């Protein structure tokens, strides 16, 4: 052949390859009708299912109780188990929606009541309990990590209007 050096042979083979491959490049892209400047997105329907599952998961997370700083009422710290159970049962009957926490720290049984975000809310219930004389002795307000349930909100409503 007329190739004097390797460099000119490489150029010839490269050009020959381009002339052979280039006509087939047009077949790689599907023929598209003129959409008038509009972009047509073809998506997998599983993306919608995944988005719906993610929305349901986020909604379930928003409805769970969470911990925050707040206040509880320290009602009892006694070694008399019967007294603690008696006070506990009366409080559960009168305040079924409030949390009641009983713990044992040797040798005392401690009874704590409520999940209050503010000290004022705790003070109102404290005064009510003292006037009802359910608890013998004094009631103390103690700062503690409390469990709060989120306020019920309608997550399906459209707020963008």
In a domain, 153, yes or no: no
In a domain, 81, yes or no: yes
Summarize pLDDT for 39-71 with one digit per residue, the tens: 878 888 899 999 999 999 888 887 888 888 999
Summarize pLDDT for 3-14 with one digit per residue, the tens: 567 777 788 888
Q: Say whether pTM exceeds 0.85.
A: no
Question: Does the pLDDT at position 110 exceed 90?
Answer: yes
Which CATH number goes with the domain that contains 139? Answer: 3.30.70
In a domain, 53, yes or no: no
In a domain, 20, yes or no: no
Distance, CA of 90 to chain centre: 35
Q: Strands of 25-127 (E only): list them.
A: 66-78, 100-105, 108-116
Q: Give SS3 for 26.
A: coil
In a domain, 143, yes or no: yes
Question: Does the pLDDT at position 117 exceed 80?
Answer: yes
Task: Please give the residue range of the domain that contains residue 76.
Answer: 72-148
In a domain, 28, yes or no: no
Cα 49 from Cα 83, distance rounded (Å) = 55
CB within 8 A of 154, min separation 6: which ones?
Answer: none
Element (DSSP H or E) covering residue 59: helix 46-62
Total domains in the chain come to 1
In a domain, 22, yes or no: no
In a domain, 87, yes or no: yes
- The greatest distance separating any two alpha carbons of the chain, rounded to the nearest whole angstrom, comes to 114
């Amino acid at each position: 052949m007329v190739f004097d050096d390797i460099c000119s042979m490489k150029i010839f083979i490269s050009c020959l390859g381009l002339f052979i491959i280039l006509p087939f490049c047009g077949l790689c892209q599907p023929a598209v009708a003129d959409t008038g400047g509009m972009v047509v997105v073809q998506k997998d329907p599983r993306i919608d299912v995944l988005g719906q599952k993610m929305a349901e998961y986020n909604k379930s997370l928003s409805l769970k109780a969470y911990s925050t700083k707040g206040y509880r009422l320290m009602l009892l710290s006694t070694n008399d188990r019967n007294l603690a159970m008696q006070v506990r049962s009366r409080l559960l009957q009168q305040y079924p929606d409030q949390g009641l926490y009983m713990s044992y720290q040797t040798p005392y049984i401690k009874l704590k009541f409520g999940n209050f975000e503010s000290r004022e809310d705790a003070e109102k219930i404290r005064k009510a309990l003292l006037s009802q004389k359910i608890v013998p002795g004094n009631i103390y307000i103690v700062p503690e990590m409390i469990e709060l349930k989120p306020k019920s909100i309608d997550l399906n409503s459209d707020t963008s209007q």
